[in-house]
Amino acid sequence: MKNSNTLIVSICTIFGLSSVALAEGEWTIGVGLGAQTELYRDDGNSLSGFPFIAYDTERFHIGFDGIAYKLVNTDQLGFNLHLSPRGDPDFPDTALFQGLDRDTAFEVGFSARQSLARDLYLHGSFLHDVSSEHDGYEAQVHLGRSFSSGRVHFDASVGVRYRSGDLNDYLVGVSASEANALRGAYAPGSTFSPVAQVSATVPVSDKTAVVGSLSYERFGSAYDDSPLTERGSQASAGIAVIYKF
């Protein structure tokens, strides 16, 4: 749940996985600034900078978001196979979180995007842990619209994200062995979360653009009731300058 994740995904969608890249390959580099509301207790709203780098060919994508093989890559339909890292939960360094051991997980799965009429599209994805860090999985589906107004390109979507109980244990759960006087044992179970996000891309030149992103997710009562969380929702925003060559 690092605060740059949503913007990195937006950048990959705009500059990588959703478009047919040159066969000989194309690099995308950039820097950005991301902010998000706190999810965990004892944590404040965060603001941090991050780098971005990705390399795309007609079939492959490699970047901070992982590795993807573009099995189908046309203007109407995209189907990609993924190997993606999931950064460990960004727990605050306070007594409440001492002894909670979480490491980066690696997940495999797929994503698909189908263009519909009137600039609409349907996007879905599935990722399952193969590193035994949480042994859970996540699936999501979004209905979105991608369009331009003047020089600015917009992408807006609404959808739902499903997380398995094992994944939620990794994010906001407390096992019996981790329980203590400050935090009771807690198993959140699986969740469905509504998600809304919008991004805007403003070209500065043929190779440079500014990308901005906003997102909101409502996790629900399973996160509200966790002894680790401040609230059951999270909003994030980011902006980045991207250069392609």
Comparing 15-24, 84-93, 104-113, 169-178, the range with the smallest average pLDDT is 15-24
Most confident of 2-6, 167-171, 234-238: 167-171
Mind listing the pLDDT tens digit for each residue in 44-96? 667 788 888 889 888 999 988 899 999 998 889 999 999 999 989 989 999 99
State residue 129's pLDDT score.
98
Range of the domain at 41: 5-244
pLDDT bucket at 3, cuts 50 / 70 / 90? very low
State residue 73's pLDDT score.
85
Q: What is the DSSP string of 31-88?
A: EEEEEE---BTT---EEEEEEEEEEE-SSEEEETTEEEEEEEE-SSEEEEEEEEEEPP
CATH of the domain at 185: 2.40.160.40
Q: Is the pLDDT of residue 9 over 80?
A: no
Whole-angstrom Cα Rg for the chain: 18
Using alpha carbons, select from 207, 196, 208, 201 the residue that is nearest to residue 148: 201
Using alpha carbons, select from 72, 50, 62 the residue that is nearest to residue 4: 50
Q: Is the pLDDT of residue 200 over 80?
A: yes
- The residues pairing with 54 across neighbouring beta strands, listed in sequence order, are 28, 63
State residue 1's pLDDT score.
44
State residue 75's pLDDT score.
84
Q: Is the pLDDT of residue 18 over 80?
A: no
Comparing 14-18, 41-45, 122-126, the range with the smallest average pLDDT is 14-18
Mind listing the pLDDT tens digit for each residue in 89-137? 989 999 999 999 999 999 999 999 999 988 999 999 999 999 999 999 9
How many Cβ atoms from other residues are within 10 Å of residue 38's Cβ? Answer: 16
State residue 223's pLDDT score.
94
Q: Is the pLDDT of residue 2 over 60?
A: no
State residue 64's pLDDT score.
83
Domain total of the chain: 1
Query: pLDDT: is 133 or 15 the higher one?
Result: 133
Tell me what the mean pLDDT of segment 147-165 comes to. Answer: 94
Residues 6+ apart with CB under 8 A from 93: none
pTM: 0.89
